[in-house]
Amino acid sequence: MITVFILEPAQLLELIIETRRIYHYNNIMKKIIIAGAAAALFFFLWSCASQSALIPPGGLSFGGDGSSHSGGSSEADARENSQSANSSEEDNSKAANSTEEENWNLEEARKAAAGMYKGLMPYPGSEGLETVVRLRKDGTYLLRSRVLGKADDTVEVTGSFDINRKGIITLDKAAVNTLSPNYVLSAEPAAITQLDAQGKPVSGDAAGLYTLKRFPAEITETYWKLVSLYGKPVRWTGDIKREPHIILRLEGYKVFGHSGTNSFAGRYTVKPSGSISFSPMRASMIASPNMKIEMDLYQALNETNSYTLDEETFTIGIKGQPPSAVFQAVYLR
């Protein structure tokens, strides 16, 4: 059985209006849902872009009315960003210092700086202060200063030295001219320059007058023990009065030594190219049963025109030929 409702025209019109109202209501809800989803997607993308530094500096900020606009970040954000940047710089600085600490080796730095440095520095009331600084690989040094024009005014200072990463050398005792115990090392040309009391290079008219240039060799001011002559070892036996040796002095380029029987003295000339020559030696006239070492040593000195220095070994002879004499460093005198 089928029931049929017959609506009056007024009821039919009311039904049509209600149906249309429900239809429009559903469309509005769909639009609201779509708009909400779009807004959520926008904020998600904006967050990702901000983390990837794709948003311009300052990003997007929101005013009190809820509207968005571009511009600077808030004061709190600025402080946070500044603190983050400072923290990053500190971390980078610490990392760099850590790497520098690992790469720094004081022993190697001392070896690189080792050498003989010489020059003439200003000194009141004199022609100058002749200064020699010898830095040794074991971290010790000899500082010798002599005021020109004044007899017996030579001062010697010995001690230890340090060198930092900037190439500044510090002697453990004050310099003779009281300017400063600090020197700065330069690689080219090889030299050290004395700094002022504030640890800075001397400026003005005196600039450049406090530089000591590396001397051609460390052969000077060293006790060189004779260990071989013409390929044969030299041994200190009972018929040798003293250990055969030579010492090359910087002052006056004088050489002193002992042959094992007689003491002798003379002069030498040395050049940066590695050439060296000796004058005829003046010697005492003491006889000995074994004069061969003395005669061979004098011959080696007379014929020498070349030398080499390897660590603590000093050799002399004729260039291009086997060494005539070999010496070993024993101590500084």
* Alpha carbon distance 100, 67 (integer Å): 52
What's the pLDDT band for 18 if we cut at 50, 70, 90? low
pTM: 0.44
Is the residue at 298 inside a domain?
Answer: yes
- Same domain assignment for residues 143 and 239: no
Is the residue at 206 inside a domain?
Answer: yes
Taking all residues of the chain, what is their mean pLDDT, rounded to a whole number?
76
Is the residue at 38 inside a domain?
Answer: no
Higher per-residue pLDDT: 269 or 22:
269
**CATH code of residue 207:** 2.40.128.640
Higher per-residue pLDDT: 235 or 283:
283
CB 264 within 8 A of CB 292: no
Whole-number percent of the chain with pLDDT over 70: 65
Residue 61 has pLDDT above 50, yes or no: no
* Alpha carbon distance 64, 68 (integer Å): 10
CB 264 within 8 A of CB 257: yes
Residue 237 has pLDDT above 80, yes or no: no
Higher per-residue pLDDT: 240 or 252:
252
Token couple for 259: 């042959």
Is the residue at 21 inside a domain?
Answer: no
Higher per-residue pLDDT: 58 or 312:
312
- Same domain assignment for residues 170 and 266: no
Could you say which of 187, 214, 241 is where a domain stops? 214
**Looking at residue 57, what is its pLDDT?**
46
Residue 272 has pLDDT above 70, yes or no: no
Is the residue at 12 inside a domain?
Answer: no
Residue 63 has pLDDT above 50, yes or no: no
CB 239 within 8 A of CB 290: yes
Is the residue at 76 inside a domain?
Answer: no
Of 116-125, 186-195, 298-307, which range is least confident?
186-195
- Same domain assignment for residues 227 and 325: yes
**Looking at residue 147, what is its pLDDT?**
83
**CATH code of residue 319:** 2.40.128.270
- Same domain assignment for residues 195 and 126: yes
Could you say which of 179, 197, 214 is where a domain stops? 214
- Same domain assignment for residues 147 and 234: no
Residue 131 has pLDDT above 80, yes or no: yes
Whole-number percent of the chain with pLDDT over 90: 19
Domain enclosing residue 273, as ranges: 223-331
Residue 172 has pLDDT above 60, yes or no: yes
What are the angstrom distances between the C-alpha of 235 and each of 56, 244, 259, 332?
A: 84, 9, 12, 21
- Same domain assignment for residues 209 and 170: yes
Of 241-245, 304-308, 321-325, which range is least confident?
241-245
Residue 5 has pLDDT above 60, yes or no: no
Length of the chain, in residues:
333
- Same domain assignment for residues 153 and 206: yes
* Alpha carbon distance 330, 333 (integer Å): 9
- Same domain assignment for residues 209 and 228: no
- Same domain assignment for residues 120 and 173: yes
Residue 121 has pLDDT above 60, yes or no: yes
Residue 165 has pLDDT above 70, yes or no: yes
CA angle 292, 297, 301 (to 5 degrees): 150
For the purposes of burial, counting CB atoms within 10 Å of the CB of 256, is it exposed (0-12), middle (13-18) or buried (19 or more)? middle
- Same domain assignment for residues 194 and 113: yes
Beta bridge partners of 195: 201
Could you say which of 159, 190, 214 is where a domain stops? 214
For the purposes of burial, counting CB atoms within 10 Å of the CB of 119, is it exposed (0-12), middle (13-18) or buried (19 or more)? buried
Of 55-64, 80-89, 114-123, 196-205, which range is least confident?
55-64
Token couple for 288: 């000995």
Is the residue at 309 inside a domain?
Answer: yes
Higher per-residue pLDDT: 121 or 72:
121
Higher per-residue pLDDT: 226 or 198:
226
- Same domain assignment for residues 201 and 243: no
**Looking at residue 154, what is its pLDDT?**
72
* Alpha carbon distance 77, 95 (integer Å): 27
Is the residue at 290 inside a domain?
Answer: yes
Number of H helices, E strands in the chain: 4, 20
- Same domain assignment for residues 151 and 245: no
Token couple for 27: 């469309």
**Looking at residue 97, what is its pLDDT?**
52
Query: Total domain count for the chain?
Result: 2
**Looking at residue 306, what is its pLDDT?**
93
Residues sharing a CB contact under 8 Å with residue 122, sequence separation 6 or more, in sequence order: 128, 129, 177, 206, 209, 210
Residue 323 has pLDDT above 60, yes or no: yes
* Alpha carbon distance 229, 266 (integer Å): 20
User: 3-state DSSP call for residue 307?
Assistant: strand
Residue 298 has pLDDT above 60, yes or no: yes
Higher per-residue pLDDT: 219 or 10:
219
